[in-house]
A and B are shown apart, each in its own frame.
Chain A
Amino acid sequence: QQPVQSPQAVILREGEDAVINCSSSKALYSVHWYRQKHGEAPVFLMILLKGGEQKGHEKISASFNEKKQQSSLYLTASQLSYSGTYFCGTSPGNTPLVFGKGTRLSVIA
């Protein structure tokens, strides 16, 4: 079942922060985050494997609440290069990822 992402779209000014949420109705083993620029392939950002785990990637970090079956992606001090569509992908185990519909992030000067 497809995870639900929110918001669908967000517009930020440079330097502002944003949070993107991903929730699933199924128990999760892992949550993946990818970013896709228009017309390009998605690029892997990070993976979270344990409940309550938080990982960071420059000014982008994420948390995973296994109990609530939710993950959040945090973008701080956004830059123009952060623009794109962010997807979460979830898996209950050793099965292919199921992706959410994506969150379109636009960062403006």
Chain B
Amino acid sequence: DGGITQSPKYLFRKEGQNVTLSCEQNLNHDAMYWYRQDPGQGLRLIYYSQIVNDFQKGDIAEGYSVSREKKESFPLTVTSAQKNPTAFYLCASTRSGGTNVLTFGAGSRLTVL
């Protein structure tokens, strides 16, 4: 079955450490997205990529970095510069030229100790 796989599901990190969240899709979708979810805040866009080797900042990109070397993969690195990284992170994808209906992964919950 096609879908989006995020790993790890739960991650604990000490302050000052970088951590990378994995996102892989086998839907043959062109566009991929990272959203951050905090209680009561909805989903906020971190980064998105519409084609390989290209990506754009979203509304809250500071302290995060991404890469898009392959169509199927869009990893997110939470750097030590992110002031408040504890959150639920959701990866999503859409096919290009469509109506932007998002398919989400199951999410990764990051906790900074």
- Residue pair B42, A44 in contact (C-beta under 8 Å): no
Judged by a CB distance under 8 angstroms, whether B107 is at the interface is: yes
Do A97 and B42 contact each other (CB < 8 Å), given the known contacts A41-B106, A42-B90? Answer: no
For this complex, into which size category does the number of interface residues on chain B fall?
20 to 34
**Number of CB contacts from chain A to chain B under 8 A:** 52
Chain A hits for B58, CB < 8 A: 96
- Residue pair B100, A32 in contact (C-beta under 8 Å): yes
Judged by a CB distance under 8 angstroms, whether B41 is at the interface is: yes
For this complex, into which size category does the number of interface residues on chain A fall?
20 to 34
User: Of residues 34 to 51 in A, which have CB atoms within 8 Å of B's CB atoms?
Assistant: 34, 39-44, 47, 49
User: Of residues 83 to 109 in B, which have CB atoms within 8 Å of A's CB atoms?
Assistant: 90, 99-107
| Partner among B41, B59, B107 whose Cβ is within 8 Å of the Cβ of A41 | B107
- Residue pair A41, B101 in contact (C-beta under 8 Å): no
Complex formed: what's the CA distance from A30 to B102 in Å? 13
Chain B residue at minimal CB-CB distance from A46:
B101
> Which 7 interchain pairs have the tightest Cβ spacing?
A41-B104, A101-B42, A99-B43, A99-B42, A41-B106, A96-B48, A102-B42
Judged by a CB distance under 8 angstroms, whether B33 is at the interface is: yes
Complex formed: what's the CA distance from A91 to B59 in Å? 14
21 contacts between A and B (CB under 8 A): A30-B100, A34-B102, A39-B107, A41-B90, A41-B106, A42-B43, A42-B102, A42-B104, A43-B104, A44-B101, A49-B99, A87-B43, A91-B100, A94-B100, A96-B48, A96-B100, A97-B45, A97-B102, A99-B42, A99-B44, A102-B42
Chain B hits for A49, CB < 8 A: 99
Judged by a CB distance under 8 angstroms, whether B2 is at the interface is: no
Do A40 and B101 contact each other (CB < 8 Å), given the known contacts A99-B43, A101-B42? Answer: no
Chain B hits for A87, CB < 8 A: 42-43
> How far does the Cβ of B32 sit from chain A's closest Cβ, in whole Å?
11
Judged by a CB distance under 8 angstroms, whether A12 is at the interface is: no
0/1 string, A84-101, CB within 8 A of B gives 1? 000101010010111111
Chain A hits for B35, CB < 8 A: 99
